[in-house]
Amino acid sequence: MSTTATITQTEQPTVTAQNILHLFPEINTQLAEQTANSATRDADLAGYDEEQIRLMDEVCIVLDENDMPIGSASKKVCHLMENINKGLLHRAFSCFLFDSQNRLLLQQRATEKITFPDLWTNTCCSHPLGIPTETGSTLEAAVAGTKRAAQRKLDQELGIKASQVPIDDFKFLTRIHYKAPSDGKWGEHEVDYILFIKADVDLDVNPNEVQDTKYVTPDELKQMFKEGQLQFTPWFKLICQTMMFEWWEHLDSGLEKYMNETEIRRML
């Protein structure tokens, strides 16, 4: 005896913007509008390196002045001086990696970088993305997100594997709010989370991100500033001109008193 199964075809809903927004009103439509002409079709990015153009589509966390997330926008939108001058502010991190000799790992940004190319800076500087694992409205959640972002970018820029920089080894010190132009078109306006980590790591540098690296002692870094032959990123100079060397002095003893600051340091 045989049986016959009848399969009933169900009509699939039409996937249109109107239908989706009706079903999911919580969707943020701004990013889709901002990136409609992204990548090589974007006149603002014409002539830049293709990989760096692609990274300009990443989603940054847009903030109010108290570091509360209010939405998301592309990296490109967040770094245009036209938008920065209107007050657009986003979240970032600056990671400082020290080896077992307490030397700080510096990097020189690649020529291909759209913002601040060729400048020397701290180990890794970037942004937590507007995704569940890297964002947060409370300070605790935001710190956790920036640590995950730092681990991700240390690998992407310098080839440092996550196993060599465990999340729990990152130390959060403070946040700085600063604004700095790169050129007439691009710049930074960030609440920047300062992270320290001590680890001996293996480097496999991504040349599209980093053109050189160097380990330095405090005295060597001070001499580099004094000689004036090299150019440094504005956020790195701000940090070094304020608390950096005091933090460094207490790297192995007493750093706890500088950690987990709740107030934002305004450096505008």
Known catalytic membership, residue 78: no
Distance in angstroms between the alpha carbons of the first and the last residue of the chain: 84
Whole-angstrom distance, CA of residue 84 vs CA of residue 8:
55
Known catalytic membership, residue 263: no
Whole-angstrom CA distances from 92 to 34, 103, 222 are 20, 23, 25
Catalytic residue among 78, 125, 188, 209: 125
Provide the 10 A C-beta neighbour count for residue 207. Answer: 10
Catalytic residue among 134, 157, 188, 190: 190
Q: How is residue 253 written in tokens?
A: 């003893």
Q: How is residue 223 written in tokens?
A: 């001499």
Q: How is residue 232 written in tokens?
A: 């440094």
Whole-angstrom distance, CA of residue 237 vs CA of residue 22:
48
Which positions are catalytic? 125, 190
